[in-house]
A and B are shown apart, each in its own frame.
Chain A
């Protein structure tokens, strides 16, 4: 680009200095940055636990750590990754930063509540760290009763409270987004002119608001059972342990969509921007997000096909589970069609978007094996399930999050990162991911159960492959830390719209001023308009 590009004189980062100006800020952009730092720490902590798990599984005997330590490793890997990384990831960082910019608002509807949600998140994390440093927890992130009620002698209570508290952070974020999207849109920005990123976050927020309280109360019930000896789920006290699973999955299945829907929103933005083309079937993509959010609430019992539920209710839930597959497939097809006759370029975010297409396709399609009753009975609680949800949550959600982070990084910081290193990273992540998790599908079908510290010898070859892939994957994840931090000082100045994207967040400076826009934007046209005129104008910068 040309050298005349300069960072704006005043922007949200230099508007106020010192720790206090950050900790007491009400600016959604600064809160997003603090979320970014927080969840990055949690991501690498969770990654560390995963490294421990993969090291242990490199040999069948279970000789690297004790069984108890292994159980704690995978539990804390799950708890950290689900409650403290994946659920906040795209919404709390990218959504927080971008939704007001995308709808032409000065801030979220409730800036103080936004800050509060960050503090609640930290409070939840403190409970988790307390549990970690006083010996960890070994129930699995699912806290299944009655194991969590009386059998486990680890720190179930602080961990459950940590997850409970972090849940309220998620609820408040969702509430804030819903109200913001309803009430804060710029003049002319009708619902069907909203970027699909915003649609996806709207759907996500609905799940956060409707689902999270149910898991919150479920964890409260586990808490009172364990702490005060109240009988709720414990069968020796007349309770029903399977009731816990119903309540838990009523939230935790939709929670999967809290993690993946925002990434689907990112994907729509990336595909459209880097093929410079209006999104194919806008309303189908928008409504498929809502459909996924809705259907997500009626499929929970597919986690319980072998938990003794009746044959007929299993059939009903199997049938319903296929209903989630359709809107996901519709999205995939629409993105593919968007590429047709595009003007496609492969900067790093687009590499992530391409990687996402492949991994999310596999993740989604392998869900069919688990929705189908005949195969699920065999595959339930095996490594097939582990591979499936990692394809969705790592291959889908994290690829989407990283793609989005690379895409909007110049908007957030005003600077470009090293394009070469970032491409290396994107490709490394993709390859490492596949080597790690593809063998696990085979392991699952061979019958290796999940959460096994030691395993029969015949599974070793595939486990070694998986552990080797994890090493590659770890390298791929570490690299962005280097070039992102480097870019903060030495990166090329990006200018307002380095990708020649069409969204209104690109019309303001990078980094944006505290109140986002100097002139309140008015929206006249459809989203994703790439006319030659737009392109020419952007290149004149």
Chain B
């Protein structure tokens, strides 16, 4: 059995073997194997991500079913135009991402860099719009927590129907302690759940976008160095997978958060 004992090569971290693609890591046999492994790895990771967001979607659907009116009312404070704009921006960024992958496959390093930068810009636009939306929430005290205030009167800056729900004015004289109007006391709690989920879901989504942009910075830098070719473009491809996934999450978030009652 002593033949089995290793000699030589042990110290050779580098790959002493014959003709290897420079990008082939030592523990893989072929480029194809390496690429399959990386791609599968990203798919498995996305599976994890699906369940990560899945927990929140579960909570969302439960509370939406219980507190539909509050969710509908709270969602009316969101600006659908900004949400729609962001949806368009993200779909556009998926397109530019796909073009970047395509360019990598066809050996056009310059185009890869161009499309990646375009993707990052679109991602930044999305985040910028999100900042505007968040700022508006802070201004109106719609951030859950101690400073959260819900007043049905200015529930709908977009002019959407405040009418049928604004029975708020007729506060009965009865209990002295109930200084707030009836609906704001209830809605104070229930809309807060909506905004808790809104901030957690969009916040984690935005965090994923920031991570994505960070990864793309590295990939762009590698592409500019000419690291990718038709025989090796896996990093671009799996970054693309990730980015498409993040877009897809938004495709779900937009109708769920912005269009709660539009389909009714």
Q: Which residues of A contact B (CB under 8 A)?
A: 8-11, 15, 105-111, 113, 171, 175-176, 178-180, 182-184, 209-214, 216-218, 220-221, 224-225, 228-232, 236-240, 243, 246-247, 250, 495-497, 507-509, 512-515, 517-519, 541
Contacts and interface: CB of A to CB of B under 8 A. Distances in A.
Given A209-B48, A216-B52, A109 B37 contact: yes
B197 interface: yes
Pick the 10 closest A-B CB pairs, nearest first: A513-B6, A230-B196, A213-B52, A229-B145, A217-B55, A106-B27, A107-B27, A10-B10, A238-B189, A509-B5
A109 B36 CA distance: 10
Interface in B3-43: 3-7, 9-11, 25-28, 33, 36-37, 40-41
B44 A178 contact: yes
8 contacts: A109-B41, A183-B33, A214-B54, A232-B197, A237-B189, A238-B189, A508-B5, A541-B1
B5 A518 contact: yes
Contacts of A107: 26-27
Given A175-B41, A183-B36, A213-B52, A247 B58 contact: yes
A492 to B, nearest CB: 17
Contacts of A232: 59, 193, 196-197, 200
Range of interface residues on chain B?
Answer: 35 or more
Contacts of B1: 495-497, 507, 541
Contacts of A171: 48
A237 B192 contact: yes
A217 B52 contact: yes
B5 A238 contact: no
Contacts of A238: 63, 67, 189-190, 192-193
Contacts of B6: 8, 10-11, 508-509, 512-515, 517-518
A178 B44 CA distance: 8
Contact of A179 (B4, B41, B48): B41
Interface in B147-204: 148, 189-190, 192-193, 195-197, 199-200, 204
Contacts of B37: 109-110, 179-180, 182-184
Nearest to A540: B1
B51 interface: yes
B62 interface: yes
Nearest to A186: B29
Contacts of B66: 240
B135 interface: no
A108 B52 CA distance: 25
Nearest to A237: B189
A211 B200 CA distance: 20
A209 B264 CA distance: 37
Contacts of A497: 1
A217 B56 contact: yes
